[in-house]
Copies of this chain bind each other. A is one copy, B any other.
Amino acid sequence: MNIGILGTGIVGQTIGSKLVQLGNDVMLGSRIANNEKAVEWKKQNGSRASHGTFAQAAGHGNILFNCTAGTASLDALNRTGKENLNGKILIDVANPLDFSNGMPPALSICNTSSLGEQIQKTFPEIKVVKALNTMNCKLMVNPALLKDEHDVFVCGNDKEAKSEVISILKEWFGWKSVIDLGDITAARGMEMILPLWLRLMGVLQTTNFNFKIVK
């Protein structure tokens, strides 16, 4: 499948590499076509890997991942252009972490809205599915790194899109437990878990952990 990834940081690179290994043609998108990190990533990932602008990466993809910094996501999507986005599934992995007042970051959007909702509202023709924003990127694509079972949350307004994303999570990335939280307003709760996640990272001195809902 052709997949477009918006963002060339560690999250976009990690998801991109996994998708290439699975046999997909993946383009990493950035503000500029020849982003240094994307050029390096392509070298390491062979002929199925490519890079371009946000618009080129979105145009390339049948499915898109938003792996930009959350505070820059709306700007990145605006640069991408509706003609490259409309009708497509966008898996929104981003968190609206605002580091402008130092550590710990606050959320730039929260409580009465969320980044996932703002993207869906601004681009009503995209099928936004929030997913994978609650664990580190190595776990995103390889949940088996933790011995015990743990959970990934998803939410979104389009049921078919969500169903396709759940298949990707299970069949491609190996997730056994996916919890569907309903429509995109659940992105609020998914993003608001970040302050606890960051605190746990400090206390546990690792990013190699995740949430499990015990029933």
Contacts and interface: CB of A to CB of B under 8 A. Distances in A.
Given A106-B111, A181-B200, A213 B215 contact: no
Interface residues of A, number: 38
A198 B182 CA distance: 12
Interface stretch (A36-44, A87-95, A187-195): A187-195
Query: Chain B CB within 10 Å — which of A148, A153, A211 has the most?
Result: A211
Interface in A193-211: 193, 195-200, 202-204, 206, 208-211
A212 B106 CA distance: 24
B196 A195 contact: no
Contacts of A153: 196
A209 B214 contact: yes
Contacts of A182: 199, 202-203
Is chain A's interface secondary structure helix, strand, loop, or mixed overall?
mixed
Can you tell how many copies of this chain the complex includes? 2
Contacts of A1: none
Contact of A192 (B149, B181, B195, B213): B195
A148 B212 CA distance: 11
Contacts of A72: none
B199 A181 contact: yes
Given A190-B196, A204-B213, 14 more contacts: A106-B111, A110-B111, A110-B192, A111-B111, A150-B214, A189-B196, A189-B197, A189-B198, A193-B193, A193-B196, A200-B213, A206-B215, A208-B215, A210-B214
19 contacts: A110-B110, A110-B111, A111-B195, A179-B200, A179-B203, A180-B203, A181-B196, A181-B199, A181-B203, A182-B199, A182-B203, A186-B196, A192-B196, A193-B193, A204-B213, A204-B215, A208-B215, A209-B213, A209-B215
